[in-house]
Amino acid sequence: MSNYFTLGDAVPEEVFADLLKMLKDKRIPNNFYRKNSGFGRSQTFGIVKTRNGGYAGSRMNYARPEVLMELSKVASKILPSDFRFTSIQVNDNYLSAPHKDKGNEGISAIVGFGDYSRGDLVIEEHPVNIRHQVCFFDGSLYTHETAAYDGERFSLVFFRPNCTFREVPVYSMVSFERKNCLSESLAGVTRYFNSTGRCVWASDNNIPPVKKNKPILRACI
């Protein structure tokens, strides 16, 4: 054990089976905004930081709602009930460079899965095997990176951005005007988003405007 991290319980491989199939059948897109850790397939679900400095639901919530729901199921199985997070980073064969998550706050949880070998998470030069093993650490304080690996390596990072709210967003699928929509509830407000990411209903009647006929631009932390 190290002062830099704490290990949770080992996770059975079958917990990731449905999620792994989803991620392999349709790959998540590349992320062009993670300048501190490098380019690759790495996207955030849940709450993300917007380009104007605020926070909103990630466009991935609406692009891949089935993945968001499965991530919620996985979280309920592998994380302590009192672990608080608002965001989930999904990494698909993402070899991160040494970095700190300056936009995050508090302890994050990370776990690896897939058919791979090596590929430890390296925290302040301490290698940690996270394959089917949850690791808790403060990524905002400690430099971390991905060691070289063989095979296909996926990982999930559960974290909180350093923003003012502390509520965990709740997502569900609903039918609105005979169409499937994603419901997002946060800070007492519920909004419905259609398949393009456009807000079509809000409990506070505050519906964000559509810019250039596209969903509001969102960028991952």
CB 87 within 8 A of CB 160: yes
Looking at every residue in the chain, the average pLDDT score rounds to 88
Stronger pLDDT, 39 or 89, i.e. the higher one: 89
Rounded to 5°, angle at Cα 204 from 202 and 206: 70
Stronger pLDDT, 137 or 191, i.e. the higher one: 137
What distance in Å separates the CA atoms of residue 181 and residue 201, rounded to the nearest whole number? 10
What distance in Å separates the CA atoms of residue 147 and residue 91, rounded to the nearest whole number? 14
Predicted pLDDT at 27? 97
Spell out the domains of the chain, with CATH numbers in brackets. Answer: 5-159 (3.60.130.30), 170-202 (no CATH)
What distance in Å separates the CA atoms of residue 149 and residue 120, rounded to the nearest whole number? 8
Predicted pLDDT at 96? 96
- Provide the terminal-to-terminal Cα distance of the chain, rounded to the nearest Å: 29
What distance in Å separates the CA atoms of residue 71 and residue 46, rounded to the nearest whole number? 10
Residue 81's CB is within 10 A of a number of other CB atoms, namely 5
Torsion angle in degrees (nearest 10) through CA of 183, 20, 26, 161: 50
Please determine, for residue 215, whether its predicted confidence score (pLDDT) is greater than 50: no
Residues 131-164 have pLDDT tens digits of 999 999 999 999 999 999 999 999 999 999 887 6
Range from 70-74, 103-107, 192-196 carrying the lowest mean pLDDT: 192-196
The size of the chain, in residues, is 221
